[in-house]
């Protein structure tokens, strides 16, 4: 199981392909605040709700200086389908080997219907302009999470 990040930690660097196969790096966003969120699977109800919430609030977040990046173990092709089907405008990145997900502490033991298994833990990490962790939230709910972030960040 991976270590969870704490405020003040340096956010792990990453370069991953987006839905079009274009490489996107956290370092490309230096000087901007970035909300990096991890979700288990594209095209599932909870993940769709969360991605749509971020898309619906993208202008508000961007206006406050935040970029939004969603990361899942899905392939770029699946992310492209997800983006088209749901008209998503957030940047979606593919992490099929889960290296970035693990580096951010968003992979580990989960419980569902009494079974314990390893999987992606729905998590959100807010990275400041200097590349440091401002907040790290783990085991978040898909519904209502974006509204809570907006409130917590004072936007």
Q: What are phi and psi of 62, to 5 degrees?
A: -65, -40
Is 52 an annotated catalytic residue? no
Do the Cβ atoms of 122 and 40 come closer than 8 Å? yes
Active-site position among 19, 26, 35, 47:
47
Rounded Cα–Cα distance for residues 155 and 151 (Å): 6
Contacts 24+ apart (CB under 8 A), 18-23: 18/76, 18/79, 18/91, 18/92, 18/93, 18/94, 19/76, 19/79, 19/80, 19/82, 19/83, 19/92, 19/94, 20/76, 20/80, 21/76
Residues serving a catalytic function are 47
């Amino acid at each position: 199981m991976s270590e969870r990040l704490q405020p003040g930690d340096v956010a792990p660097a990453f370069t991953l392909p987006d839905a079009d196969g274009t490489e996107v790096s956290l370092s490309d966003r230096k000087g901007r605040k970035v909300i990096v969120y991890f979700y288990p699977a594209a095209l599932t109800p909870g993940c769709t709700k969360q991605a749509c919430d971020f898309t619906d609030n993208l202008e508000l977040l961007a206006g406050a200086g935040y970029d939004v990046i969603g990361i899942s173990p899905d392939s770029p092709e699946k992310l492209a389908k997800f983006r088209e089907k749901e008209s998503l405008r957030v940047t979606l990145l593919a992490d099929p080997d889960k290296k970035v997900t693990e580096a951010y502490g968003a992979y580990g033991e989960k419980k569902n219907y009494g079974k314990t298994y390893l999987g992606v833990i729905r998590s959100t990490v807010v990275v400041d302009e200097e590349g440091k962790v401002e907040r790290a939230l783990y085991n978040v709910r898909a519904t209502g999470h974006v509204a809570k972030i907006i409130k917590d960040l004072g936007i």
